[in-house]
């Protein structure tokens, strides 16, 4: 299963345009509130870095996944939140400022946590020990695809607030169009292998995805976190960077089999996150 133009070209370009639009809806005060309430960030990081790997490990054992496929699923749990989470949170009226902050923070922390979780997975499922290089490229990707376009949008909001207000609704519609295009393109690109892949790893990938969103949304709500922030955390924890997981499976671990769960997950999570966002928004 090879990376295609969707992952390498279409998705980054689309997300850059979308993040520019998201920035139009943000104000500096949004980020100040995040810094004023660090408890929210701590809860989100606890769900992402501690609870989620344990949930993923349980799912892998529950479905008795073959060792290499189990490691591939654990790759997802170790990967930081994907930039697509920002879009879904925006469409579901979540706290996008919190999403952007969490994406940046988890991406930096993954320099430490990702190698540890993947090394544990290799030892646990395969009895192997292998050094995992730090994903520095992910941090660069976050800066270029997420933070820079969002910062430009915020600048427009500060300098030309009336223009930003007029652009808000059209940009939301454009975001939905981009999202639909990515989903259709992904299905078309993987149609030849989609049936077999979904049957083999679809159920555990789906359960893990649903469990991730449930943990990300309901744990903060139980801890009395606000609705908008809970939506943001649910999307951030529930949508992982499948592109990063696939890249590590291919380029670092040299295993196309390990890339299978992230590839299937990357398609499934678009539909489940869209449904989750629709229900929550209502």
DSSP string, 130-196: ------HHHHHHHIIIIIHHHHHHHHHHHH-HHHHHHHHHHHHHHHHHHHHHHHHHHHHHTHHHHHH
The predicted-structure confidence for 228-248, as pLDDT tens digits, reads as follows 888 888 888 888 877 777 767
Each residue's pLDDT expressed in tens, for the chain with a length of 282 residues: 444 555 555 556 666 666 676 677 666 666 666 677 788 888 988 988 889 999 999 999 999 888 888 888 998 888 877 667 877 887 778 777 787 778 777 776 777 788 888 888 888 888 765 555 555 555 565 556 666 777 777 777 777 777 777 777 777 677 667 656 655 665 565 566 666 666 778 899 999 999 999 998 999 999 988 888 888 888 888 888 777 777 677 767 777 778 788 878 877 888 888 888 788 766
- The SS3 call for residue 81 is strand
Angle CA(223)–CA(142)–CA(138) in degrees, nearest 5? Answer: 100
Domains in the chain, ordered, with CATH? Answer: 5-277 (1.20.1530.20)
pLDDT at 3: 46
Question: Nearest Cα to 98, choosing from 40, 46, 156?
Answer: 40
* DSSP state letter for 230: H
Give the separation between CA 194 and CA 198, rounded to whole angstroms.
6
Lookup result for tokens 């529950």:
62
pLDDT at 62: 92
Lookup result for tokens 């990063």:
244
pLDDT at 96: 78
The reported pTM is 0.71
The predicted-structure confidence for 25-52, as pLDDT tens digits, reads as follows 666 666 666 677 788 888 988 988 889 9
* Maximal CA-CA distance, the chain: 60
Asked if residue 182 lies in contact with residue 14, where contact means CB atoms within 8 angstroms, the answer is: yes
pLDDT at 25: 64
What are the residues whose beta carbons fall under 8 Å from the beta carbon of 163, sequence distance 6 or more? 156
What are the residues whose beta carbons fall under 8 Å from the beta carbon of 148, sequence distance 6 or more? none
- The SS3 call for residue 84 is helix
Lookup result for tokens 């941090």:
139
What are the residues whose beta carbons fall under 8 Å from the beta carbon of 143, sequence distance 6 or more? none
pLDDT at 201: 84
Asked if residue 56 lies in contact with residue 246, where contact means CB atoms within 8 angstroms, the answer is: no
What are the residues whose beta carbons fall under 8 Å from the beta carbon of 162, sequence distance 6 or more? none
């Amino acid at each position: 299963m090879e990376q295609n133009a969707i992952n390498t070209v279409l998705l980054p370009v689309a997300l850059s345009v979308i993040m520019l639009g998201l920035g139009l809806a943000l104000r500096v005060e949004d980020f100040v509130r995040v810094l004023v309430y660090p408890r929210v960030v701590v809860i989100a990081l606890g769900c992402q870095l501690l609870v989620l790997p344990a949930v993923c490990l349980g799912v892998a054992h529950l479905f008795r996944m073959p060792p290499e496929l189990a490691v591939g699923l654990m790759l997802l749990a170790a990967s930081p939140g994907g930039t697509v989470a920002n879009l879904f949170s925006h469409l579901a009226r979540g706290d996008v400022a919190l999403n952007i902050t969490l994406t940046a923070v988890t991406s930096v922390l993954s320099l430490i946590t990702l190698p540890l979780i993947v090394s544990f997975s290799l030892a646990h499922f395969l009895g192997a020990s292998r050094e995992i290089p730090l994903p520095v490229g992910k941090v660069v990707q976050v800066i270029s695809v997420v933070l820079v376009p969002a910062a430009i949008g915020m600048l427009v909001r500060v300098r030309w607030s009336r223009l930003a207000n007029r652009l808000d609704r059209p940009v939301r519609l454009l975001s939905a169009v981009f999202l639909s295009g990515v989903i259709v393109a992904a299905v078309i690109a993987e149609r030849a292998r989609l049936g077999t892949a979904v049957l083999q790893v679809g159920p555990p990938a789906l359960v893990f995805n649903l469990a991730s969103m449930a943990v990300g949304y309901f744990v903060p709500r139980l801890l009395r976190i606000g609705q908008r922030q809970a939506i943001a955390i649910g999307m951030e924890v529930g949508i992982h960077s499948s592109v990063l997981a696939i890249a590590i499976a291919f380029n670092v671990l040299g295993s196309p089999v390990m890339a299978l769960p992230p590839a299937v997950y990357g398609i499934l999570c678009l539909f489940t996150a869209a449904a989750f966002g629709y229900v929550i928004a209502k």
